[in-house]
Copies of this chain bind each other. A is one copy, B any other.
Amino acid sequence: MTDKDTRERIVEAADQLFYQQGYEQTSFSDIADAVQISRGNFYYHFKTKDDILQAVIDTRLATLQQILTRWDEEIPQPAERILQYIDVLITNQANIKHYGCPVGTLCSELAKLRHASQVEANALFAMTRNWLSEQFTLLGHKAKANNLAMHLIGRGQGIATLANVFYDEQFLKQEVQELRDWLQSLTVTKKTKPKKRPG
C-alpha cells in the first residue's frame, strides 16, 4: 500500500461520509474505520479535519470540472447540455432521496458552521453557474444567462431538498419534467430572431 493509495482512499471515504452523514457528524474514527486504517495513521496523511474537508472539496471541484468539460466535448447543442445537467437529478435520485444534493447540503452545513472552507465549497456552485451561464448564452439568452443559471440551480436545490426530506421520488420526477418544459420554452422562442443585430 503506497502513500498515495491510502491518501486517495481516505479522501474517497471522507467524501462519501461527509455526503451521507454531514461534515460535523463524521468523525476521524468513521473515516478510519471505512478505510480500515488506524486513527494514528490517519494523522500522517492529514493534520486536521479541516485539511480533509479541503481535500474533499478539491477532489469534487476537479471531478465537476471534468464532467462539465466532457459534456462540452461530447454534446454539441447547449440545450442538450443543460438537459444533461437537469437529468442528473434523475440519475442520482436514489442518493438524493437519501442524502439530498451533495453540493447544496455541504454548502448549507458549512454556511451554518461559518466554516473557513465555505468559500471553496461555494466554488462548486459557482463553477456550475458559470458553465450553465455559458450554455444559456449560447442559447441566445446572453443578457439573462446568469439569472437563468441561478434560477435553474435554485430549482434543482429545492427539488433535492424536498425529495430528501419527504423521500418523494414522484415529486422529483414531476418537477424534473417541469424543468424540461421550462428549458424547452427557452429553446424554441428564439426561432425567427436574428442572432446579432446591426448597429
Contacts and interface: CB of A to CB of B under 8 A. Distances in A.
A161 B25 contact: no
A13 interface: no
Interface string A165-180: 1101001001100100
Contacts of A154: 155, 158-159, 161-162, 171, 175
Contacts of A108: 100, 105, 108, 161, 164-165
The main secondary structure of chain A at its interface with chain B is helix
B125 A112 contact: no
Interface residues on A, range: 35 or more
A151 interface: yes
A100 B7 CA distance: 34
A1 interface: no
B22 A113 contact: yes
A120 to B, nearest CB: 12
A178 B175 CA distance: 17
A35 interface: no
Interface of A: 20-22, 24-25, 99-100, 104-105, 107-109, 111-113, 122, 125, 147, 150-151, 153-159, 161-162, 164-166, 168, 171, 174-175, 178
